[in-house]
Amino acid sequence: MEGGGSFEMVGIPQMIVPYEWILENVGQEPMTIASKMISFRGEKVFRVGLKNHAPNPVLFLVAINLSQIGMKVKDVKYGIQGSGIGPATMKEMTKEDTGVEGSLHLFKTLLDKKVVGNCTFAFRICIEGNVPSYSYQLSDRLAKDQLWAARKNQQYLPDVEFVVKDQRISAHAAILVARSKIFAAELKKKQPVKDVPHQIRIDGVDPSTLEKFLYFIYTGETMGTLADEKLLKLAEHYQLSTLSGLCRVALKKIEATQMAKFIESLNNGVEGVPPRT
């Protein structure tokens, strides 16, 4: 049984995601117990588990493909829920070097004794952006939503029209120019005609990719997966360094040797048994 909580901001670049994992009626026999996949921002990216073997039971947290939404785990703390309101103390888990930075994160800690009966673990997952220029700060959420709605609904005098395959997608020159000097140069070359939008033809991409690209331009946030080579090409062409950096990290492939190292790190010092979910 699992429970979540609201997100909490810490400092400037980091976000805290709280999570509670409730175990009930855990038996004496050695076993591996794992949670269901935990969703964050619409993606299933976390899983916690317990290798409940004497004499060294291991509590672990795995983050999977968090890079595809532009993030990584900085650190993880855990506590064991007592009879009070919250955990008595929060302790930091150890980050393992799995050789797959960005795609798979593994945090582990040794427990003093096996878990038997009922137990509740509380986690505080600290998340930051994958590139230095992509961070999490308090902001006016309504402002971002309104800007994006203005583009989606073709409001407030859109004066640029992207032609992508058989679709036409409107945008605002002032925002494009402010975000990209390439757009500034392109639009400066074209003399505006009254009541006729600037047309920019984009070849080799789907409308959905251009939507993700424009969403980042308007809001500074990502939409959908960043593991998109055509999105990367758009970001590089229009010199959006933050978006291109996020895409490059998300597109990194996991090699077989890296996966083997990850599994070795997960099972280090513990005899493996089939997981119970």
Domains of the chain: 2-134+254-272 (2.60.210), 141-239 (3.30.710.10)
Rounded Cα distance between 81 and 21, Å, is 10
Q: If you average pLDDT over each of 190-199, 207-216, 245-254, which comes out highest?
A: 207-216
Is residue 257 pLDDT above 90, yes or no?
no
> What DSSP letter does each residue of 133-158 carry, written as one string?
T-------HHHHHHHHHHHHTT-S--
Q: How confident is the model at residue 76, as a pLDDT?
A: 96
| Structure-block tokens of residue 244 | 């291109």
Q: How confident is the model at residue 272, as a pLDDT?
A: 42
Rounded Cα distance between 85 and 88, Å, is 9
191 to 181, 207, 223, 229: CA distances (angstroms)? 17, 26, 33, 32
- Which pairs from 142-149 meet CB under 8 Å and 24+ separation? 144/218, 144/219, 144/220, 144/221, 147/175, 147/218, 147/219, 148/215, 148/218, 148/219
- Judged by DSSP in three states, 37 sits in coil
Q: Kindly report the pTM of this predicted structure.
A: 0.76
Tell me the average pLDDT across 8-14: 51
Backbone angles phi, psi at 21, to 5 degrees: -120, 120
| Structure-block tokens of residue 74 | 């900085």
Q: What is the average pLDDT value for the chain, to the nearest integer?
A: 84
Is residue 145 pLDDT above 50, yes or no?
yes
Rounded Cα distance between 52 and 121, Å, is 14
Rounded Cα distance between 209 and 225, Å, is 10
Is residue 179 pLDDT above 90, yes or no?
yes
| Structure-block tokens of residue 231 | 């999105």
